[in-house]
Amino acid sequence: MNGEAAVNDANRVHIFDTTLRDGEQSPGISLNTSEKVDIANQLARLGVDVIEAGFPITSPGDFEAVQRIAREVEGPVICGLARAQKGDIDVAWEAVRDSERPRIHTFISTSDIHIEYQMKNTREDVIQGARAAVSQARSLCEDVEFSPMDATRADVEFTAEVCAIAVEEGATVVNIPDTVGYTTPEEYTRYFEDLYRFAPSLKEVELSVHCHDDLGLAVANSYAGVLAGARQVECAVNGIGERAGNCSLEEIAMLIKVRGDVHGLQTGINTRELARTSRLVSRLTGYAVPPNKAVVGRNAFAHESGIHQDGVLKERSTFEIMDATEVGFDSNQIVLGKHSGRHALQDALEQLGFVVQGDALNRAFARFKEVADRKKQVTALDLEALVSDEMHREGDAYELASFEVSAGSNRESRASVTVSLPEGGSASATAGGDGPVDAIFQAARDATGVESELREYRVAAVTGGEDALGQVTVVLRRDGATASGQGVSTDILEASAQAYVRALSNLVAELRAREESERSPSGEAKGP
């Protein structure tokens, strides 16, 4: 996709997904490379137009993930973020250059508050920085996006001047970010009108919106930007992102689809993949989807009121503006039992979008049999959780080898935990605690020797019923760094032990990445 093609398709709104960049900057999220690749593949199945795969210069791990996505994920544009600095842009290009459709996204702030206090330079410095950055990026890549960070709190005439320079130097997309979620839909609309007036050349390229949800207006502001002429929306699955998050992908996609009668616009999103994508991102990030979340929350199509139930039974459209199947809530129809074979499992996984073969299939089948012996039926939702839990692991990590627990109302809980070590071998420890879960956590901490503070412990059922799989999320904190881990099992204690050990692994990786980042010239910039 390029700016010219986008402008010619006047009714198409392109979906730019930043789950793997801005979304991963959410506190406690620490995705490994294989998890990022799997999310990117699911985003491709979903039909997003652009995947912002990461901020390559921030760490070797982020560079590796962006490069793998660029090499392995087909369909969408693969984009890497870079500050308006030569080193950032060179590294971003190296990360995305192997994609069939690479893009470099560079940014610099135009708000006086950022210029004075964050960057400590002048407007003239910003003009020169934007010019040099876009020129350099365009010399490497045909598709270049430029963002004036904190645009909605910046002087619109100055921002228009900087954007016009970006277009002059070859930017194909210009993004207008509401970086701190400050604007309102009416203000955003006027801002776009002023930009077009002050910088007519913006009509030659594709304009984009990137809105944060600090005041709960990210979707509303993004929609206002689209109605004002933007044809790219930057958003994240489940609305995750810095602080209160980003515009929710599933909400803006369904808003555009359902209210096409108002605006006549469309996206390329396969909405039947929305619920599955939401569940995958939720499981891998540890960020639970609220039950009342629009479009993908479990109550989004539930009716408690007798009046509502009566109306829906008579005619669904009385109280529902969307069909649950439109967003993929009918995907729980696949059912396997303990006698199902390897081929049946592989076929079911392929229906769910998982291509699993060889050793990976063997591991998935072993895990499936283990769970199927405990459950009467294994549903599609169970399979999604199991495959995600089993396949998204990397070698350089602690792994739960075994655990034993003794507990009772009249005695202290005790747990023995054995952990496989990243460098090989294993370590064991026994500890007491205030209940069996606390005892497991204390023993795992002693076995690994990794001290941390427990910040969150969440338990959710993957499906209903007394034999439901339990999904546990643990969030740990140390030295200002946070990381999460997930575990899935019919035994909630086993799931808790898995989650804690994986959170420890992710915390160690996060601390290591922070040390590497501090040694690199990436600084503190987070992006639009």
Tokens of 352: 């769910």
Q: What is the pLDDT of residues 52-110, one digit of tens each?
A: 999 999 988 899 999 999 999 999 999 999 999 999 999 999 999 999 999 999 999 99
SS3 content of the chain, % helix, strand, coil (to 5): 45, 20, 30
Inter-helix orientation angle 380-391/33-46, to 10°: 140
Q: Is the pLDDT of residue 409 over 80?
A: yes
295-311 mean pLDDT: 64
In the chain, what percentage of residues exceed pLDDT 90?
62
Q: Where are the domains positioned within the chain?
A: 12-285, 331-391, 399-516
Distances in Å between the Cα of 68 and the Cα atoms of 41, 142, 192, 206 are 11, 20, 36, 27
Q: What is the pLDDT of residue 524?
A: 56
* Position with higher pLDDT, 287 vs 49: 49
Give the pairing type, strands 411-420 and 399-408: antiparallel
Q: Is pLDDT above 80 for 319?
A: no
String of DSSP letters for 446-494 = HHHT---EEEEEEEEESSSSTTPPEEEEEEEEETTEEEEEEEEESSHHH
3 state DSSP class of 430? strand
Q: Are 309 and 303 in contact (CB under 8 A)?
A: yes
pLDDT (tens digit, 9 = 90+) per residue, 237-253? 999 999 999 999 999 99
| 399-516 matches 12-285 in CATH topology | no
Burial readout 500-522 (b: 16 or more C-beta within 10 A, e: otherwise): bbbbbbbbbbbbebeeebeeeeb
Mean pLDDT of the chain: 89
* Averaged pLDDT, 171-183: 98
* Rounded average pLDDT over 10-14: 94
Question: Average pLDDT for residues 423-427, to the nearest whole number?
Answer: 91
What CATH class is the domain 12-285? alpha beta
Residues 6 or more apart whose CB falls under 8 angstroms from that of 200 comprise: none
Within 8 A by CB and 6+ apart from 376, the residues are: 337, 467
Note the CATH number of domain 399-516: 3.30.160.270
pLDDT of 306: 53
Banded pLDDT at 388 (limits 50, 70, 90): confident
Question: pLDDT, tens digit, for every residue of 188-238?
Answer: 999 999 999 999 999 999 999 999 999 999 999 999 999 999 999 999 999
Q: Which of 180, 235, 183 is nearest to 208 (CA)?
A: 235
Lookup result for tokens 């669904």: 316
User: Which pLDDT score, from 0 to 100, does residue 391 have?
Assistant: 64
CA nearest neighbour of 232 among 526, 525, 527, 9: 9
- pLDDT at residue 5 tops 80: no
Q: What's the CA gap between 464 and 486, in Å, rounded?
A: 19
pLDDT over 60 at 304, yes or no: no
Kindly report the backbone phi and psi dihedral angles of residue 342, in degrees, each rounded to the nearest multiple of 5, phi listed first.
-60, -40
Yes or no: say if 505 and 481 are a contact pair by the CB < 8 Å rule. Answer: no
More confident call, 488 vs 56: 56
